[in-house]
Amino acid sequence: MKNFPYIYPYIHPRRSASINKGFTLIEIMVVIVIITLLAVIVLVNYRIVKKQFTLQRAAYKLAQDLRRAQEMALSTKEMNGNIPDGYGIHFKKSWDDYYILFADLNDNHHREAGDQDLEIIELEEGTKILDLLPASSFSVLFSPPDPTVWIANLSTGTQAVITLCLEDDITKTKVVEVNNAGLIEVK
């Protein structure tokens, strides 16, 4: 045995690497904790962003409905064989979740008993009208053929401002403005 020195067990390098493959329990737990934290962050932000998109959609829908009334006046759309004196949207502070598209049939430039309501348009769920200017109740009317813009029964020097907000957070707002030239903006 003199010729045979102590022999260390020989392990092939490729084989030793395959023996150490795999994850430890601690490594797996760290990965699970990281994935859980990322999922929580994404879910919280998703709810916030979803509410902001709801408010933005409601503001753009209101602007679109104002433009629709403007286009109806431009096209002088007939109603029951007659051309109305204008088309508009009526707002009222107590109606915090809807507004009315109407046809002005008595040439008074705002909505009243003799006019025809065409559609009651509800705001998107989760949003409401927070504030109205120039008054707590007014109409934005587009009168053909140009169309002339009538806001709160005045045709000059006025601007309508409709402020929308989230029902559960009135600090989150979007503003829709209409000026007397007919420009409709969402801010």
Residue boundaries of the structural domains of the chain: 33-186
Which CATH architecture describes the domain 33-186?
Answer: 3-Layer(bab) Sandwich (3.55)
Mean pLDDT of the chain: 87
Task: Please tell me the least confidently modeled range out of 7-11, 93-97, 145-149.
Answer: 7-11
Checking if the pLDDT of 150 tops 60, the result is yes
**Cis-peptide into 9, omega within 30 deg:** no
Checking if the pLDDT of 186 tops 90, the result is yes
The residues near 134 (Cβ < 8 Å, ≥ 6 apart) are: 151, 152, 158, 159, 160, 161
Instruction: Encode pLDDT of 47-86 as tens digits.
Output: 888 999 999 999 999 999 999 999 999 888 787 788 899 9
How much of the chain, in percent, has pLDDT values that exceed 70?
86
pTM above 0.85, yes or no: no
Instruction: Encode pLDDT of 9-46 as tens digits.
Output: 555 555 555 556 778 889 999 999 999 999 999 888 88
